[in-house]
Amino acid sequence: MKNLLANPQLVLVSRVFIGLMFIISSLDKIVDPSAFSRSVANYGLLLSWMPAIIATVLPWVELLCGFAVLFGVFLRGSSLLLSAMLAVFTLAVMSALLRGLDISCGCFTQDPTAGRMNWMKVLQNASLFALTMFIYFSQATRFTLSEYLMKSVNDHHDS
Amino acid sequence: MQRALREAAVLLLVAAALGFIYTAATEKGLFARRSTLPPRAAGLLAPVMVTRDQAQLYFESRRAVFIDARHEFDYKLGHIRGAVNIPLRMYETKKAVLDTIPKNWLLVAYCDGAECNSSIELSVKLAKDGYTDVKIFFDGWREWTAANLPSDKSP
């Protein structure tokens, strides 16, 4: 497991996948926060004023964390945030499925005609959670902007 | 861990700032001047929400066609008296039942209630198909039966 965590190529592939996925999934929510707010409210888990606040902030958290994971800046913080979000999403979807709610996920698109969520969504979220935790615990720092910047600073000091 | 939490806090703060600035600048979501519910279909009159009292008035006036967006199974168990069943997922195959209804008639779409948004989605489809006066009875079947209003069962 330690070998996997230190494998720079594997970590890079995971970062690109998770980064791009969260960037793409944030766009529809940013463009139409009202629709996303409705999707959040449909879960019936929050007080009435909460979905609008979540719809204002959460898409931007996804976008920023997506870029941070992709480029390798604030890697620990962003992967931790994404893991926490995915854990909450997974629980919310499970709760909705167990209550038999007839709602769409609101995960990637706010198109009301998008398909209803099912247990595959729980599996998908759990897999993504595992991947973000993998990035969080990874020790490889190669191919990250942080490493590149540190290198530049050190080179500057040496010369 | 402490470093990760610090980074996460910075990301959260920046994201919150960007989110509030963006939605305020574009007057979307939280800062929308008026409710954008439901979505406005290109150039068409957007469907509007109605309360149970309004839905009851439409029902009693006999000038509205109620459209039940739930599954056929639920519809058969009970529905608003006279309602037509067009399950959202079967819209394309079932919408022919509306062929005899003029496009300017009042249609009221409903489904289970607050935990279901099929009525919104159905009303958007109806508006896109040219029905100019579509209302959404969002509280739906649950509120209707709670008030003991006229309903029917299908065999």
Q: Residues A147-157: pLDDT tens digits?
A: 777 777 777 77
What are the extents of the domains in chain B?
A: 2-31, 48-152
Most confident of the ranges A11-25, A42-56, B37-51: A11-25
Q: What pLDDT does residue B17 have?
A: 93
Average pLDDT of B48-55?
Answer: 87
pLDDT of residue B136 exceeding 80, the answer is yes
Burial of A119 (0-12, 13-18, 19+ CB in 10 A): exposed
pLDDT of residue B37 exceeding 50, the answer is no
Percentage of residues in chain B having pLDDT higher than 70: 88
Q: Which residues pair with B134 in a beta bridge?
A: B107
pLDDT of residue A111 exceeding 60, the answer is no
User: Whats the size of chain B, residue-wise?
Assistant: 155
Give the angle A33-A36-A39 at the CA atoms, nearest 5°: 155
pLDDT of residue B40 exceeding 70, the answer is no
The answer to whether B30 contacts chain A (CB < 8 Å) is: yes
Q: What pLDDT does residue B112 have?
A: 84
Q: Which residue of chain B is at minimal alpha-carbon distance from A53? A: B30
pLDDT of residue A140 exceeding 60, the answer is yes
pLDDT of residue A105 exceeding 70, the answer is yes
> Which one-letter DSSP state was computed for residue B67?
E
Q: How far apart are CA B40 and CA B26, in angstroms?
A: 17
- C-alpha dist (Å) from residue B138 to A113, A129, B127: 17, 35, 16
Question: Are the CB atoms for A57 and A31 separated by under 8 Å?
Answer: no
pLDDT of residue B45 exceeding 60, the answer is no
The answer to whether B25 contacts chain A (CB < 8 Å) is: no
The answer to whether B27 contacts chain A (CB < 8 Å) is: no
User: Using 50, 70 and 90 to split pLDDT, how confident is the model at B101?
Assistant: confident
Q: Which residues in A have their CB inside 8 Å of a CB on B?
A: 30, 32-38, 42, 44, 52-53, 55-61, 63-65, 68, 74, 76-78, 80-81, 99, 101-104, 112-113, 136
Which is more confident, A158 or A135?
A135
Q: What is the CATH number of domain B48-152?
A: 3.40.250.10
**What is the DSSP pairing of strand B151-152 with strand B79-80?**
antiparallel
Residue in A56, A78, A102 closest to B11 by CB: A78
Mean pLDDT for chain A overall: 84
Mean pLDDT for chain B overall: 83
Neighbours of A153 (CB within 10 A): 10
Average pLDDT of A127-135?
Answer: 93
Of B67, B73, B31, the C-alpha closest to B50 is B67
Q: Which residue of chain B is at minimal alpha-carbon distance from A82? A: B8
Question: Are the CB atoms for A56 and B19 separated by under 8 Å?
Answer: yes
